[in-house]
Amino acid sequence: MSQTPSVEEDSPIERTAVRLLRSSVDRSYHPEVDVDWDAPDVPGLRYVPDRYISLYGTKIFERMTEEEKIRLGRLEASALASWGSSPKAH
C-alpha cells in the first residue's frame, strides 16, 4: 500500500495545487449547461477549418457547395465529439 507524501500547508507545492484546482473550476465547461442547444444555427458558420474535413484536398471537396462543406464539417465534428464520450470508446 502506498503512502501519500506529506506536504506543508503553505509550501510551494500546496500553493501550486490550490492555484491549479481553482483554475480548473474557473475554466470548467459543461456543455449541458453552457451551450444553448435550442439556438438556431448561425448561417455560414464553420464548425472546423476546411483542412480538417475528411474530403479536403479532393476533387469531390472542390465540387461541394459551401453549405455542403459546412454540413460535412459539422457532422464530422459532432461524430468525433460523440465518439469521445461514448462508453464503448473506453
28-63 exposure pattern, b = at least 16 Cβ within 10 A, e = fewer: eeeeeeeeeeeeeeeeeeebbebeebebbeeeeeee
Q: Show Cβ contacts of residue 78 under 8 Å, excluding neighbours closer than 6 positions.
A: 47
Contact 56, 50 (CB under 8 A): yes
The pLDDT, as a whole number, for residue 24 is: 78
Say which residue, 56 or 4, is predicted with more confidence: 56
Position 3 confidence tier, pLDDT thresholds 50, 70, 90: low
Domain ranges for the chain: 42-90
Has residue 35 got a pLDDT over 60? Answer: yes
Has residue 38 got a pLDDT over 70? Answer: yes
The pLDDT, as a whole number, for residue 2 is: 57
DSSP 36: -
pLDDT tens digits, one per residue of 39-61: 898 889 999 999 999 999 999 99
Contact 77, 47 (CB under 8 A): yes
